[in-house]
Amino acid sequence: MRLRFQEVVLVALLFSVGCSDGNSDESDRSSAAKVVAPPELVASSWPVQMSDSARRAPFEQHAGWGAMFKRDLPSALAAFQADPGDGRGLSRVHADLAAVYRQAAWMGAQATRHIYGADRHPTDPLVADYFLGVSLGIAGQCSEAQAALARVDPVPSELAAHHTWWTAWSSHDSCPRLPTADELSGLPGAPILVVAGADPDVGEVPRWTFSEQSDSALDVHSGELTSLLQIALSHEERALEVAPPADKPLVKARLGPWRLGLEGEVDTGELPAEVDVAWLFLDFALVGADLGFLAAAERDGLSAIDAWKDRSLLAAAMVPAVDGDKLVPDIVIDQAADLRIQLRNAMEATSGTPMSFQAEFAKIGEVALLRAGMLVADANDQYRDAGILRINAFERSDSSARDPVFLMSTASWDAGNRSPLRAQEIVHGFVSRYPSVRAARYPLDALHIRLGRTAPPSTAVH
C-alpha cells in the first residue's frame, strides 16, 4: 500500500528536518576537514549515497522508513507489513525487535542474578533458585544453572513445566545452545508466537507471585523471562522467513552483537558481496562490510579491526585508536567526532547544497563508531573503556540516533552494574510501546528496592 500524496509530503518533511543536539551545523561545516576513513569508503556509505535525492526518494515515499527514522519499530512493522516490497524492510524490523527482546531478557537476568545471588536475603521465597537458575541459563552458565535449579525443592506446580524445560536444557551435552521458538512454545503461559508483520499483544505477560519467608509473608512478584526469549526467537524466525534467500546471513549478522550467552556460537553464514541499501539506510552499519565487522568485533575484538579495515568504514576509522594490545577510547571518541564532519562534508558535496537531514545522518555515523568501539573494547576485556564508549554513545543517541536496541542493551549493562536508576528510566519509556518488557521490569524494580534497603544505590556511570 503506497502513501497518499499528503503522507508522502509528511514523510519528506520528516527526513528534511533535523534536530540539534548541541553540535551546531555551522561548527560542523567550518571545522577543518579531516580524513578519518578512506574517501572511497565514505563515498559508498549510506549517508552519502542517500544525499542524492533520486536514491532517497523511494524511501521517503514509504511510511515504514519514516517510522524507522523516528525509531518507532511497532509502527515500522505495521507499515512494512502493509507494503512489504522485497521484504528487506520487514525482515530488518523483525530482526531489531528480536534484539530488543533479547536485551530485555538479559536485563531481567542481570537484575535477578544480583537479587538472588550476591544480594540474596534469608527471607527470599523458597523458589528463588528457580529464577536464579533461569538467569544463569540465559547467561549460558549451564552447570551453575543446573545446580541452582536442582536446589528448588519442592517445585511449585505452576513452575513445574518451566523448571523441567530449563533443567533439561542446562544439563544437555550441547549446552549452551540456541533453543528454537517451537521448543519453547509448549510452555504454559507462552505468548502467541510472532507472525510476520506483528509484535504479539500478550496482554499480561506471565507473572508469578510467591511469599517471603518472614512473619509478614510479603508478596514477591517476578515475570517469566522465558517469555521474552520466546518472542525474541520468534521475531528472528520471521526475519529469516521474509528476507530474500541470499540475505539471510545478514539477519544473523545484525543480531550478532546482541545475542545472549545461552545461544553459544552462531554461524552467520557467508555474507553477500553486495548489500542492498535497505539493510543499511538509517542503520549503524554505514557500508555493507560494517555488518560483518560488527558481528566479528563482538567476538574477536582488536583482531576484527585488522581483518576488516580494508572493507569496513567503521574498522578503518578505528585503526588509529589501536595502541599495541589496547583500544584507546579517547581516540575513538575523537575519530567519531571527525567522522561526523567527514560524512557531513561528503554529503554536502553529493547533494550540491547543505540539507538539514544531513546533520542527522552524520550524527548516526558518529554514534555508529562509538558503538563499534564499545564492542571491540568489550571483546578485548577492556570493560571500563567499553563503558566509557557506551556512555558517550548513549549521550549522543537522541532523535534519529535513539535506537531502542542500543537503549535496551544499556539498561542491561546498568542492571549488570547494580545501577538500576537509568535502566528504570529507559524501561519506563519502553513498556507502552513494547508491553512484554514488563516481564523484565519486575526484577529491575526489585533490585532498586533491595539496594535502597541495604545500602546507598550505586551511581550510574556518566
More confident residue, 207 or 134: 134
Region 144-166: what's the mean pLDDT?
94
**Residue 184 or residue 9, greater confidence:** 184
CA torsion, points 51, 40, 36, 252, in degrees to nearest 10? 80
| Percent of the chain surpassing pLDDT 70 | 87
pLDDT at res. 202 = 55
Residue 153 has pLDDT above 60, yes or no: yes
Q: Can you tell me the distance from the alpha carbon of 297 to that of 253, in angstroms, rounded to the nearest whole number?
A: 11
Better-scored residue on pLDDT, 333 or 270: 333
What pLDDT is recorded for position 401? 96
Would you place residue 216 in the very low, low, confident or very high pLDDT band (cuts 50, 70, 90)? confident
pLDDT tens, position by position, 60-84: 999 999 999 999 999 999 999 999 9
- Above 70 in pLDDT, residue 26? no
Cα 394 to Cα 193: distance, rounded to the nearest angstrom: 32
For residue 4, pLDDT beyond 90 = no
The pLDDT, as a whole number, for residue 197 is: 64
DSSP 83: S
Confidence of residue 8 (pLDDT cuts 50, 70, 90): very low
DSSP secondary structure, 425-446, as one string: HHHHTTTTTSGGGHHHHHHHHH
Mean pLDDT of the chain, nearest integer: 87
* Percentage with pLDDT > 90 across the chain: 67
In the DSSP assignment, the letter for residue 114 is I
Q: What is the pLDDT of residues 299-309, one digit of tens each?
A: 999 999 999 99
